[in-house]
Amino acid sequence: MSDWEDEYEADGVTLSKPLSVQVKSWRPPSPQRARTRDTGAPRAEVDLDGGQWTNWREPTSNVCDGETRRNNSYGRSRGGRGGGCCDGERSRSSPTILNVDNSLVGRIIGRGGAKIRELEESSGASIKINRGVDEAEVMIFGSGDVQLKAKDMIEDLVQGRSFRGPMGSNGNSNTGYQRDSCWSASAVQAVGAAAPARVPIDWIALRENRDKYEAIKWQDLPPLKKDFYIEAESVAAHSAEEVKIWRKENNNIFVDDLVEGEKRTFPNPVCTFEEAFAHYPGIMENIVRVGFQKPTPIQSQAWPVILKGIDLIGIAQTGTGKTLAYLLPGFIHMDEQPLPRDQRNGPGMLVLTPTRELALQIEAECNKYSYKGFKTICIYGGGDRRAQINKVRSGVDIVIATPGRLNDLQMNDLINLRSITYLVLDEADRMLDMGFEPQIMKIILDIRPDRQTVMTSATWPTGVRRLAKSYLKNSMMVYVGTLDLATVNTVHQMVLIVQEEEKKAYVFDFIHRMEPQDKVLIFVGKKIKADDLSSDLCLQGIPVQSMHGDREQCDREEALQDFKDGRVRILVATDLASRGLDVHDITHVFNYDFPRNMEEYVHRVGRTGRAGRSGASVTLVTRDDWKIASELITILERSGQDVPEELVLMAERYEKRQREKEMYAPKGGRGGGRRGGFRGGSDRRF
Ligand code: ADP
Ligand code: MG
């Protein structure tokens, strides 16, 4: 494992999450399902479907309890033979049925149906798949032995393994299934003998030939053009010293070329829109229409890099115009491809973003700067899947998606990702925090490797650095601000040390003092608290909306729209709303509960003071939050804020206690905890 990976794991970001949660167990179709007794076998970590979702290994015992028993009863009624499910009865005429999550069916079918054909050939079974809304019924026809063999192979595929032989080389069972199987060893051996011998996979040879296979995989791709930059004379004329001063004065921009070997000259920044887009009148029309005066610092420095076709990592605070920084060059990139649009057979730009709200917001931004009639689709979990599929089929140019839902469509061959030439990983830090890396990895496997990739993030933790190293090639980096956490310095940040039971009084007092033009976003730590506080406010006749991961998507969208449009001036939310959401006129952020970590604090506070406006934040800190006191002090000092004396005392007390603990604690205790904690791949935890 590379140093990067070591660092990455130390940072607490898992490389993958257990698949078992995704896999629906083999279960008997109703009404037999009702008869399946609880075997006491270990359940999966998440019991998603009212107890119907079980650990995928559980079918080992369910084979007896459910499916096989059903089949035996068929056998009895037809052949009149008695005996329990473990009596070696193997002649089945009714099909075996596996329920498989739709997102995993692609693994059974394979590209162009190749996998399923192979399955049928090697097992001798006939396989039929009926897709439902969320899951598919995989029906296996054939004799009992044949069904059993095919079922085994399908379970392997669903689990992401290649087919395995039914027996180990020593003649003993080599799978959990067979160890606990109700079939006798001789019966299973007979199946093994009948099966064609499998050729073991030569992994070393495969690895050696990886480049060759990659080349074959991508051999039919159309040509790709990436460099569209014509540097304006006024830009080229800047001396190195002038550029250095400009970067210093524009929020202390730091640039770097991350190419291995000799560094390239970093492009000079553009100071006006014309300097970047004079050759693209369609883009200029859009800018004139929205009335922006000049590029933001990240845009000034990002546009020349992206337009030159170089992969870019853009790190800048929230609200600094990162969306437009990647969208406008993306429009040009797509429009100027050598292969005409109508022959591309799929979208050209993909923006991956962590939450549904952000996806919708980027879509809105995209539509605002419409260019050459590009069609955009927003793909996110919770939205109408069927409608999303239909829109993809009707032909789209730009896909804005959350990784989970896109991965679902990809696995089911419902979207072509081979046509994508411009990829954006937006809010990469948040996507990692939410455990999306496995899905991102799978998605990118289907995107041509010579694409252009842009990654944005508000922070630069180890996990993001590792992501950049994996998915960007010879990239350049633009870092606006310092290399440490920094809050927006346009926000006046007030910190109050309070008791937990005083919090409600503080927030009510704050609300009663609000001016008519004020708009406040109140952050709480738990979904239940968001419901609790918003209903308390409602009971007092105060118009309020709330937003958290347990609310229906349509309610979340309505809440956000009400808040944006000013129908309510108070939004109570969990950290679901802490990043990227762009509501211009939030005047205050009220941290009712302190966030999980300082990065989240920076994002929350960044919800106000946007687009050059000033804003204010109020943060309630209780004794339970004392471990963050010293980090909070650093942030406040760095952005020139007052630091309350009580906070300093709190930090000192905490440090003293830590020292004492270290002094008296026995050596070699438990290892440190993980930062961030949750790794869910979903926004439902907020
Ligand atoms: P980020 O992604 O960095 O958090 P956004 O891209 O959401 O920020 O931009 C924040 C707001 O600033 C948006 O409403 C956007 O329309 C606006 N904006 C973008 N570029 C400019 C600009 N050059 N001048 C003024 N406003 C801008
Ligand atoms: Mg953004």
CA atoms within 13 A on the CB side of 444: 22
Task: Name the pLDDT band for 198 (thresholds 50, 70, 90).
Answer: low
What structural domains does the chain harbor? Answer: 17-178 (3.30.1370.10), 255-265+310-480 (3.40.50.300), 491-643 (3.40.50.300)
Q: How far apart are CA 600 and CA 525, in angstroms?
A: 11
- Whether the Cβ atoms of residue 13 and residue 437 lie closer than 8 Å to each other: yes
What is the tens place of the pLDDT at every residue in 313-347? 999 877 889 999 999 999 999 999 999 888 888 99
Q: How far apart are CA 629 and CA 634, in angstroms?
A: 9
- Whether the Cβ atoms of residue 351 and residue 362 lie closer than 8 Å to each other: yes
Give the residue whose CA is nearest to atom 19 of ligand 1: 321
pLDDT at 54: 22
Please tell me the distance between residue 112's alpha carbon and the centre of ligand 1 in angstroms: 43
Q: How far apart are CA 98 and CA 621, in angstroms?
A: 52
pLDDT at 401: 96
Quote the tokens at residue 92.
């089945």
Is the pLDDT confidence value at 521 over 50?
yes
284-291: long-range contacts, CB 8 A cutoff, minimum separation 24: 286/368, 286/369, 286/370, 286/371, 290/368, 290/369
Indicate the range of 354-358, 383-387, 667-671 predicted with least confidence.
667-671
Q: Which of 286, 318, 324 to probe ligand 1 with, by most ligand atoms within 8 A of CB?
A: 324
Q: Which residues pair with 236 in a beta bridge?
A: none
Q: How far apart are CA 530 and CA 265, in angstroms?
A: 50
pLDDT at 419: 95
Residues whose CB falls within 8 Å of the CB of residue 53, separated by 6 or more in sequence, listed in order: 24, 25, 44, 46, 47
Mean pLDDT along residues 371-396: 90
Instruction: Residue 24: count other Cβ atoms within 10 Å of its Cβ.
Output: 22
Q: How far apart are CA 334 and CA 421, in angstroms?
A: 8
> What pTM does this model have?
0.54
Indicate the range of 39-43, 402-406, 618-622, 650-654 predicted with least confidence.
39-43
Q: How far apart are CA 656 and CA 658, in angstroms?
A: 5
Task: Name the pLDDT band for 587 (thresholds 50, 70, 90).
Answer: very high
Helix axes 297-307, 322-335, angle to 10 degrees: 20
* Rounded alpha-carbon distances, angstroms, from residue 546 to 88, 445, 525, 555, 686: 59, 38, 13, 9, 12
Instruction: Residue 46: count other Cβ atoms within 10 Å of its Cβ.
Output: 12
Q: How far apart are CA 545 and CA 173, in angstroms?
A: 58
Q: What are the respective helix, strand and coil percentages of the chain, to the nearest 5?
A: 45, 10, 45
Cα angle for residues 488, 492, 496 (degrees, 5° grid) = 120
Q: Give the closest residue to 675 by CA, choosing from 582, 578, 597.
A: 597
What is the tens place of the pLDDT at every residue in 84-120? 333 333 333 577 888 777 778 788 887 777 788 888 8
- Ligand 1 contacts CB of residue 321 (under 6 A): yes
Task: Name the pLDDT band for 258 (thresholds 50, 70, 90).
Answer: very high
pLDDT at 154: 86
- Whether the Cβ atoms of residue 357 and residue 579 lie closer than 8 Å to each other: no
Residues whose CB falls within 8 Å of the CB of residue 376, separated by 6 or more in sequence, listed in order: 363, 366, 367, 396, 397, 398, 399, 400
What is the tens place of the pLDDT at every residue in 7-38? 223 322 222 222 222 222 223 233 333 232 23
Please tell me the distance between residue 306's alpha carbon and the centre of ligand 1 in angstroms: 18
Element (H, E) at 655: helix 645-664
Residues whose CB falls within 8 Å of the CB of residue 432, separated by 6 or more in sequence, listed in order: 13, 461, 463, 464, 467
Q: Which of 273, 296, 400, 480 to probe ligand 1 with, by most ligand atoms within 8 A of CB?
A: 296
Mean pLDDT along residues 527-540: 92
Task: Name the pLDDT band for 194 (thresholds 50, 70, 90).
Answer: low
* Prior bond of 449 cis (ω within 30°): no
SS3 at position 6: helix
- Sign (positive or negative) of CA dihedral 99, 103, 104, 109: positive
- Ligand 1 contacts CB of residue 322 (under 6 A): yes
Task: Name the pLDDT band for 494 (thresholds 50, 70, 90).
Answer: very high
Residues, beta carbon < 5 Å, ion ligand 2: 322-323, 580
What is the tens place of the pLDDT at every residue in 470-488? 999 999 999 987 534 455 6
Residue 495, phi then psi, degrees to nearest 5: -120, 130
Is the pLDDT confidence value at 526 over 80?
yes
- Whether the Cβ atoms of residue 647 and residue 497 lie closer than 8 Å to each other: yes
SS3 at position 585: coil
- Sign (positive or negative) of CA dihedral 20, 23, 27, 31: positive
Note the ligand closest to the C-alpha atom of 610: 1
Q: Which residues of 225-248 are buried (b: 16+ CB within 10 A; e: fewer)?
A: ebebbebbeebeeeeeeebeebbe
Is the pLDDT confidence value at 288 over 90?
yes
pLDDT at 296: 93
SS3 at position 224: coil
Please tell me the distance between residue 673's alpha carbon and the centre of ligand 1 in angstroms: 36
- Quick one: three-class SS letters along 381-415? CCCCHHHHHHHHHHCCCEEEECHHHHHHHHHCCCC
Strands 126-131 and 254-257: unpaired
pLDDT at 91: 38
- Ligand 1 contacts CB of residue 582 (under 6 A): yes
